[in-house]
Amino acid sequence: MTDQFTTTGQAELKAATRRQTIQTYERAADHCLSHEDTLADEVPVALQYNGINHVVMLASATDLIDLAYGFSYSEGIIRQASDIYDCEIINTGQGYVLDITIASACLQQLKLRRRRMTGQTGCGLCGIESLEALDHGLQPLPDDAPVLSTRSIYRALEALRHLQPLRAQTGATHAAGWADREGQILHVREDVGRHNALDKLIGHLLRQSMDRRAGFAVVSSRASFEMVQKTVQAAIPALIAVSAPTSMAVQAAQDNNLILVGFARHDKFNIYHGAEHLIYETVQDTASSTPVKP
């Protein structure tokens, strides 16, 4: 790739926000001021496969092709990027439809799964027929996880703070970034939903045929079970989360050899699994390092 860093385009960012006149109360002055605020747009996005409706989710209307690929892959609907033959974005006025054409073998598997489901959802859990289905057919990551340095983790965390233009405008979105082993953020995707942001990132990496084991994921949210599930499904060896993980997320990380770091802040982080794969280095120059520019 000629451009090493990829983020959402300016036109899409504009389409994912809207202006709203609001009143702000200032306690010190004891009065309200009227001004315009920028809100993150949250729109319905429907995914259909070969003309069959599958799921409707609320998302930011950015990088929707990446969302289609990432959701399809992390949910086990497709096995590889080439299983999607076409993806058309249809603006209905009420929201968006992602009309996805997939390989016939994938469609047959999807139909079998749908027959076993009692409902449809974008969360990856509701509607499954048994607790045994929770593992989602995950293949555990290899035991030989790549070594990560604490310096790389801090570098990626610092960079991600500066690479969220939608959050900078609205304060209402999450981000998922992919960093190389040196901690340089190469790709970022944003969305009002943390799962969607990660799916968009996975979809982009899939479409670009990136070696996902050559880096790690950094997310601005908590690490829920679904976030761990999607990371493992994408064969990304480590997930660094700004907020806390859940107990189920930690168990899933342990079961699937995922390096899981949570409460990752500027001064410390918690290692919930995979401490043996970390190299502990001083980070004197991390705070002063210049983040990659879009």
Q: Which residues are catalytic?
A: 123
Neighbours of 50 (CB within 10 A): 16
Dihedral sign, CA of 152, 157, 161, 166? positive
Strands 148-149 vs 96-102: parallel, antiparallel or unpaired: unpaired
Cα(183)–Cα(219) distance, rounded to whole angstroms?
13
Instruction: Return the HEC string of the chain.
Output: CCCCCECCCHHHHHHCEEEEEEEEEECCCCEEEEEEEEEECCEEEEEEECCEEEEEEEECCCCHHHHHHHHHHHCCCCCCHHHEEEEEEEECCCCEEEEEEECHHHHHHHHHHHHHCCCCCCCCCCCCCCHHHHHCCCCCCCCCCCCEEHHHHHHHHHHHHCCCHHHHHHCCCEEEEEEECCCCEEEEEEECCHHHHHHHHHHHHHHCCCCHHHEEEEECCCECHHHHHHHHHCCCCEEEECCCECHHHHHHHHHCCCEEEECCCCCCCEEEECHHHEECCCCCCCCCCCCCCC
